[in-house]
Amino acid sequence: MSSPSAHETVAKTTQDTDSRLKWLQDHIQFVQAFAKNPLGIGAILPSSRALAAAITAHLQPGAGKVLELGSGTGAFTQYMLDRGFDPADLVLVEQDPALAARLRHRFPQSTLLQIPAQTLHLHYDTAQRDIVATVCGLPLRNMNHTIHAQMLEATFEAMRPDGALYLFTYGLTCPVSADTLNALGLTSRLTAFVAKNLPPACVFCISRAPDTAGGLGT
């Protein structure tokens, strides 16, 4: 195998420096957002690549639109793009104005909604039901049952009948209560434990429960 040319070496070094700079900018902006609103951000650092891999493991590029709730600095967004997802297939939801502005700049081809996730139905045509899956980065443990229910109702309204929501949490149990899930005809299951994240996290999948009456329509 031939050794890289000087041009290739310079290009690679520039690329490495660019991605280190982006990483640093992301972390600085995240810490600033956390300092302003610790409960609303709900994490001290952006998620790791290992958590991004686990939370998007069941999603396939090209399968359709993916909704991302609480995109932050775009840790999951960038991972999905690296995996070959079409940026035009991503619908990003982020309520923090500074984080939303950076997402808009970084991912100009994706749809960016700067809204509270629980108001999705007021800003997105959920009747299209064109979302195949949802990746949720919201700090659900800092939100109450009413917000959980509103967010899940709007999200499942926007998804295809077989659509599922993947969330992460720093606890060992699903942050959405069994009562809330039952009332909406939903069910949850643990799909991964990710040690390589600070702090370590669990990933849960929420989907429509089979044969439920009185829950969200399919």
Q: Smaller CB distance to ligand SAM: residue 132 or 140?
A: 140
Residue 185 binding ligand SAM, by CB under 6 A: no
The answer to whether the beta carbons of residues 56 and 50 sit under 8 Å apart is no
- Identified binder of ligand SAM from the candidate list 70, 163, 175, 185, rule CB under 6 A: 70
Number of residues that bind ligand SAM (CB under 6 A): 22
Q: How far apart are CA 149 and CA 163, in angstroms?
A: 17
Where in 136-165 is the site for ligand SAM (CB under 6 A)?
137-139
Rounded to the nearest 10 degrees, the angle between the axes of helix 97-106 and helix 6-36 is: 160
Residue 95 binding ligand SAM, by CB under 6 A: yes
- Identified binder of ligand SAM from the candidate list 56, 116, 126, 216, rule CB under 6 A: 116
- Identified binder of ligand SAM from the candidate list 65, 78, 96, 112, rule CB under 6 A: 96
The strand pair at 65-69 and 159-169 is best described as unpaired
Q: How far is the CB of 217 from ligand SAM (least distance, A)?
A: 24
Residue 175 binding ligand SAM, by CB under 6 A: no
Phi-psi region of 64 (alpha: psi -120 to 50; beta: other; left: phi over 0): left
Rg of the chain over Cα atoms, rounded to whole angstroms, equals 18
DSSP character at residue 124: S
- Identified binder of ligand SAM from the candidate list 29, 56, 71, 134, rule CB under 6 A: 71
Q: How far apart are CA 165 and CA 61, in angstroms?
A: 16
Interaction site with ligand SAM (CB under 6 A): 40-43, 46-47, 70-72, 75-76, 93-96, 99, 116-118, 137-139
